[in-house]
């Protein structure tokens, strides 16, 4: 296959954000990348796709400049850089590092800084300078905002009056004697594209195909398939136990007195459902993981 063939260049965040469950990605199609559970090794199953991995925050600029055609990044870094890219999907998912991340403004416990208004004319340290400046402007506050090169949470009260930093559980803030003043932003992973790339018919078709499969993996992340054999006279009783939104498939078996019944349910419901289904007459109950659900 010639190297002159078109390629779709995909940027994948490096590190923990890539450690998604293998069952949601091992059956990746011909134009996506396989994500091993413990590490990221971008591999293209066709020469027409290429992938690279790095920190999320780099992808807005590289996608905007055309170095990449599409990428996964965070809403926070899209807003921080102001990159002119097409936002194609919210990839919030029940996977490590694919949930909601909070950027919070915090100050030292016992300090006089308890609201945003208290920071007028004060000094704030953060990795998200632009986002913090916009937040202050929205609240009519003028303050000095300095980029933090790391260990942001240790800077108050000597090196800064307050900080704006990522907080998932709040444990790091508490460990450093800080208390949150305000939530600046709740950010989720986003799939973005270079504006020229999304106008290209071939690339857009590949991006749409990839998004369909990614969304299918997210939809399947918390669900499983339940399959069981049910006596015909017990079908109604079994159906009443299943969640209202479930749409079971009922198939005939070689034994005319029994049917095969299968449905998709939330995994968290299974431990309550299986004993009740068994008590209602279901037998041979099987719980199976699902890789993707395409709505």
Domain ranges across the chain: 8-96+189-220, 101-187, 223-289
pLDDT value of position 14: 67
**Domain 223-289, second-level architecture:** 2-Layer Sandwich (3.30)
Rg (CA), the chain: 25
Strand order in the sheet with 249-252: 249-252, 258-266, 223-231, 283-289
From the candidate CATH numbers 3.40.50.720, 3.40.50.300, 3.40.190.10, 3.90.380.10, the one assigned to the domain spanning 101-187:
3.40.190.10
Q: Which residues pair with 187 in a beta bridge?
A: 101
20 CB contacts (<8 Å, ≥6 apart)? Answer: 35, 37, 93, 95, 96, 98, 217
To which CATH superfamily is domain 8-96+189-220 assigned?
A: Periplasmic binding protein-like II (3.40.190.10)
| Mean pLDDT, contiguous 10-residue spans, the chain (295 residues) | 74 60 37 33 42 49 70 90 91 85 94 95 95 95 94 94 90 93 93 93 95 94 95 96 84 95 95 97 96 91
Distance CA 284, CA 257 (A): 15
For residues 191-205, b (16+ Cβ closer than 10 Å) or e, as one string?
bbbbeebbebeebbe
Instruction: Give CA–CA dist 96/107, Å, rounded.
Output: 28
pLDDT at 50: 54
What integer pLDDT is reported at residue 44 of this predicted model?
40
Q: 223-289: same fold as 101-187?
A: no
Supply the pTM of this predicted model. Answer: 0.74
Question: What is residue 54's predicted lDDT score, i.e. its pLDDT?
Answer: 46
Residue of 252, 230, 251 whose CA lies nearest to 241: 230
């Amino acid at each position: 296959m010639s190297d002159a063939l078109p390629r779709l260049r995909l940027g994948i965040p490096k590190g923990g954000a890539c450690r998604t469950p293998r069952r949601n990605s091992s059956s990746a199609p011909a134009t996506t990348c396989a994500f091993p559970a413990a590490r990221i090794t971008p591999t293209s199953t066709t020469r027409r796709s290429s992938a690279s991995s790095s920190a999320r925050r780099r992808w807005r600029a590289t996608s905007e400049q055309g170095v990449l055609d599409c990428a996964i990044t965070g809403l926070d870094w899209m807003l921080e850089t102001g990159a002119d890219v097409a936002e194609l999907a919210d990839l919030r998912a029940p996977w490590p590092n694919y949930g909601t991340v909070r950027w919070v403004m915090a100050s030292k416990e016992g300090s006089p800084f308890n609201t945003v208004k208290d920071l007028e004319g004060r000094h704030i340290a953060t990795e998200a300078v632009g986002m913090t400046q916009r937040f202050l402007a929205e609240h009519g506050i003028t303050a000095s905002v300095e980029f933090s090169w790391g260990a942001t949470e240790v800077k108050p009260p000597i090196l800064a009056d307050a900080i704006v930093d990522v907080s998932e559980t709040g444990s790091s803030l508490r460990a450093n004697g800080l208390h949150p003043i305000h939530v600046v932003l709740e950010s989720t992973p986003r799939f973005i594209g270079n504006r020229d790339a999304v106008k290209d018919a071939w690339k857009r078709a590949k991006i749409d195909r990839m998004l369909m499969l990614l969304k299918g993996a997210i939809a399947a992340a918390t669900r499983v398939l339940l399959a069981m054999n049910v006596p015909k006279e017990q079908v109604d009783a079994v159906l009443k136990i299943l969640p209202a939104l479930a749409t079971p498939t009922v198939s005939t078996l070689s034994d005319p007195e029994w049917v095969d019944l299968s449905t998709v349910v939330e995994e968290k419901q299974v431990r309550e459902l299986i004993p009740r289904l068994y008590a209602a007459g279901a037998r041979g109950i099987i719980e199976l993981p699902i890789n993707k659900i395409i709505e």
